[in-house]
Structure formats: structure tokens, C-alpha cells
Structure 1
């Protein structure tokens, strides 16, 4: 068994990518994720891999586009405004069906906002982010250990489905330090890339064209239908979530992801002292969203659900869609880099369920 080491979240991201056989990194510095690039700039050249600091976020994502087209495992990382600049390129990559991993260490917004942690990029990540009808798997780790594990998973899923994958954590996860273990894991079966990659090794008889352009509407619709079939397969096979204290009848079920979910666990313990029973649904994939968790719990909650976020109400919309009006869906959020406090969440819980029992 490998030993645990104390690492900053951003540096653990870089090491996880190396161990997932990421061969190329293209990025541009932006707080609070700059240490991802700094770590890889030191490590990758020493092991014969490519690190390149691009001149901009736009350049970086287009370098990823080109590299992914050769079938090479590659990654970029950024933070909220930088991801906005990459959005067009991400849409091209999704349209061309190329595998890559994108890291977003979210900061407060809108605009340049602040360098404090936030979860206000949920809409951008889960609803495509760029133009056109597309989705990408979005992973939301709640610890540095889980972030490491999900980065390795994201590379495999990207290759299996020929899709960009995003691992999205808030600025706190990027900057904090925790013990982490780089476990030996079995790589999932990856389809052969020789059928599509453009690496110059096929000779003149076979030309693989990497492209997201289709001028004929009939052809573009066929491609879109193909993409929708792929997205439906991902939704059926790649949903991940955790249920905590949901195997009982609860007064209220909290819904939270990432760092906020860790805070909500403390709220559950505090609520027990007041005789209030709470459960927690923690989406690990934000897309595809874990609708099944709500099917399993909708009849086990008296007062419905409370979505707790570091935003002013984004994931709550998906919670409402999953619940389909069968229970009340409430919301509590902080934004701009403000972190929800367990006591304030508990006050909101008591407003909903009627105080101490």
C-alpha cells in the first residue's frame, strides 16, 4: 500500500494527472489554481512529457483541441473567468468528439470577482458552457483524496466516450492541504483510438479529419442525434453520488456538493441535538445529475429538500427538476467567496421544519 502524503489540493491535481498518464498540459495562470500549472511545469519536463504555458486561455484550449486530436492524453486547468474564455474551444472539442480533462477551481464572480471559493460556475459547467447542444461529465470532489481519484476517473471516461470531462472544485479545495494516497487503480477498458485519431501514422490511404463543422443541416442533425445518444449512455452508466443518513425517515434532506457537503455533515450532527433528523444527498457527478437519489428518498422526507450552495441558486434548479413537485424544495446559499456556516444553515433548517422537537 502506498503511503499518504500531505499535499496542497492544486499540487495533488498535478500529480494525479501525471499518474493518470497525462502526456501534455496546456494552461495559463490564474488564481486560485495557478499551483496546478506550477507543479506540472516542474515535473512534466523531467519525465519526458510536455508542459506549455500558452499566451492566453483561448490559446491553451485550442492547443488541447489539437493535442486531443492525436489521441494523446492531455489536460488544461483554469478558474472561472479563464473557463469562460475556453468555452468556445470546449464546444469545438465536444463537437469533434475528442477526449480531454479540464480542471476548474472556482472563484467568486461574476466578472473578475474575487479569488475566494465559490460554486457559482454550476450552470456554466453542467449546461454545456459553450454554444450548441452538448454536455460533458462534470465531477465535484469533496476532498483532496476524492479529487485525485476523480481526475484519474475523468481521464478514463474521456477516452471511453470521446468527450471532454471537467473536474470542478472550489478555491478552498485547491488551496487547502490534506493527506492523500495515490492508490494503484485498475484502468477501465479504453477503446482503440486508431479508428479516429489524426497522428500521421496511417499512411496516405487513410485520412482522419478532426472537425466540428457540418454545413449541411441534415448532416449536422445526424451528428447531434449521435451526440445525444452518447449523452444518454453516459447518463445511464456514469452517474455518481453519495447518500448520508438517507436510509431512514428524515424531516429534511440536504443537497450539497464539494466543500459545502462537508459543512452539511456537521449540520446533521448539530440538528440531531435538537431532535431534527436530516439526511444528505451529495452529487459527485453534477452532470449527469443523480436523479435516482431523489426517487429513492422522495417518500422518506417530511419537509422535502434543502439545496445548500456557495451560489445564489443554481443546483437547486436541477433538484427541483428531479423532485418534480412531489416535495418542497428549499434553498440556502452564500456567494462572492462567502462560505455557508453550519449555524446559519441550521437556522434555515429550523425555519423549514418548525424549530426544536
Structure 2
């Protein structure tokens, strides 16, 4: 059945259907409706909802509930995600599954409550301390946010790793028609590592503290092997009209929808352009971009973002200097228009 839902509420409903048992959060615009929806619905389904005293409290509650084997989610925006970074590092270090939703707003600092893509680097490069990675999904529609939220819970359990849904204010606040798969059943994963209080078995400890350097290095190398598997198996990317394109646009999230419209208009005008949209920001679709860079007919790439070029480095590294990568972005909560993108393209073609 198709339902008209706000993005924040659709993500929350998807989490409930994915078997989310515990939610810990703190209100901040533009993601507060997600928290409100969970407050209304989670207790009715027998779960646990707590509005924590702060974002720091929320992420550490998530750590505790996850260590007990529960499916856990927390959500916030910009400044709140910054406060959660220490806890996210702890989750990754202790190999605990958790779904984290970041509905981005303008920054830095308090910035504003408008849509932006200002947290790309924070999400993909590890905003906390240490050698760790978080799987990062960037949905471009409310329907895709629903599907990726469900997938996020499954991957978090599969890899014992935090997974982030990285949306923006537009995605969280807009309403679109969504359809839930009523046949979906949350994957049941055995968690022999979970702390359950059972005294009849060997003691279990959830920990990310390794005082002996050799032991911490061994743990970090183990994590690195896990991250390699994630990179090999979990890359998601959309390639739109890119097969015969001479110019490749690269964009993610809601911004990519605007770029797709620009691509369609440019195609109508006879321009051979296409779009590569990373759906996973980490792992990043390096090989896909590299393959287009190797094509003789591809002249250059254009990276379009709602920031000052936070993904640009990843695009350039993937292209390996084989082609020029141009950048156009708006920041501070400003959104690029279709016409702006087209004008920028034509300025490069002169």
C-alpha cells in the first residue's frame, strides 16, 4: 500500500519494520519528527524509547543497548552528530551494530536549519578518533530512505558495525509517496557476543580498550580486514545515462535529483552527459568512477554538492588524474538550481 509520508517519519517507520527495539535521541531541527514518531510508536510495539539528556547520553545509551544484542537506532543533525562522535568511535571499536541517522543542516557551528550536505567528511572520514569506518548511505528520495534504513539494520548486524543514513533537511521534511514491503521480515542474526546477564555461560565483555599496544594493533588489523570485505561487497551506485556520456556529473543525495533533472534537460539539447550517484558514500564507488575516467570519449567530470567540495577529494582520487574534475557547489543551506548547473556546464564547454 502506498502512503504519503514525511521523510523523517518514513525513516522511523522503516526502522520499526526492520525490528528496531531501542531508540535514544535528542531533539534538533530538522530531524525532530523522527524522534517524535518513535516516541509515539516504539513503546506500543514493546520497544524502549528514551529522550536522553543530551546527544552524548543518547549515543552511549545506544552503546549499552547494542551490547545487549538489541537492534538500536539514534538520530540527530549536524551539531548533535558532532557530540556523538566519541560514542560512534566506541561503537566501531567494540564492534557493536547501531543505525545512526543524520539529517544534515547548514554549518559550521550552529549554522542554520536549512538543507545542506555539510557533514560528508565527518561521516566518511571518521569524525571520531582512531582507525575506524562507518558504512554511510546517502538516499535521494523518501522511498530510497525507507529501503536503505531497513538495509542498514541488516548490514549493521552482519558486520557488527555502525551504519549511518546521511540525508539532509529536504529529505527529512519533504513528503513523498512511499511503499512498504509487507513481506519483509527482519533478518535474525545470532549474537553470541551479546551481554545478556546469563551466569550459566562464559563471561562476555563489551570493550574497546586495549592497553597493550600489540593487542590494539592486532584489533585494528582485524577491523581493517572487515572494512576490506565491506568495500568488496557493499558498494552501491546509480549510473544514469552514463554509458555514452562525454561529461560525467557526480553528485549524491537530494542534490543528485536536481543534477539528474539538469542531465535530462542537457540531453534534450543534444549534450551527451550522464550522472554517477554514489549511494554508499563509504564504501565509495571508486572502481566505477575509475572505469569512466579510463574511457577516451569522456572529456571531464563535474562534481555538484551542497557544500564547498567535501566529496571532491574522493572523486579526484578515484579518477586518478586521468581526467579533469570541476566543482560547483552551494553552501550555507543554499540549494543549486537546475539552471545554475546547466549554466556551469555550458561555461566549461566554451
TM score, norm. by length of structure 2:
0.97
Residue in structure 2 matching 1:251, options 246, 251, 255: 246
Specify whether residues 50 and 205 from structure 1 end up closer, same or farther in structure 2 by C-alpha distance, changes over 3 A only.
Answer: closer
Residue in structure 1 matching 2:163, options 149, 162, 165: 165
- CA displacement, residues 268-320 of structure 1 (integer Å, 9 cap, x when unaligned): 12212433211000000000000121133221643211010000011111000
Aligned to 1:61: 59
SS in 1 for 2:112: coil
SS in 1 for 2:315: helix
Aligned to 2:197: 200
- CA displacement, residues 70-124 of structure 1 (integer Å, 9 cap, x when unaligned): 1100100000100000000000000000001000000000000000000010000
Asked if the contact 1:7–1:179 (Cα under 8 Å) also holds between the matched residues in 2, the reply is yes
Specify whether residues 335 and 185 from structure 1 end up closer, same or farther in structure 2 by C-alpha distance, changes over 3 A only.
Answer: farther
Aligned to 1:11: 9
Measured after TM superposition, the shift of residue 191 of structure 1 is: 4.3
Are 1:93 and 2:91 counterparts?
Answer: yes
Measured after TM superposition, the shift of residue 186 of structure 1 is: 5.2
Specify whether residues 161 and 329 from structure 1 end up closer, same or farther in structure 2 by C-alpha distance, changes over 3 A only.
Answer: same
Measured after TM superposition, the shift of residue 209 of structure 1 is: 0.4
Aligned to 1:295: 290
SS in 2 for 1:25: strand
SS in 2 for 1:40: helix
Structure 1 unaligned segments of length 5 or more: list them: none
Aligned to 1:33: 31
Residue in structure 2 matching 1:267, options 232, 254, 262: 262
SS in 1 for 2:113: coil
Measured after TM superposition, the shift of residue 237 of structure 1 is: 0.4
Aligned to 1:129: 127
Asked if the contact 2:78–2:105 (Cα under 8 Å) also holds between the matched residues in 1, the reply is yes
TM score, norm. by length of structure 1:
0.95
Between the aligned partners of 2:287 and 2:297, the Cα distance in structure 1 is 15
Structure 2 unaligned segments of length 5 or more: list them: none
How many corresponding residue pairs? Answer: 349
Which contiguous aligned blocks of 4+ residues in structure 1 show a shift greater than 6 angstroms? none
SS in 1 for 2:258: helix
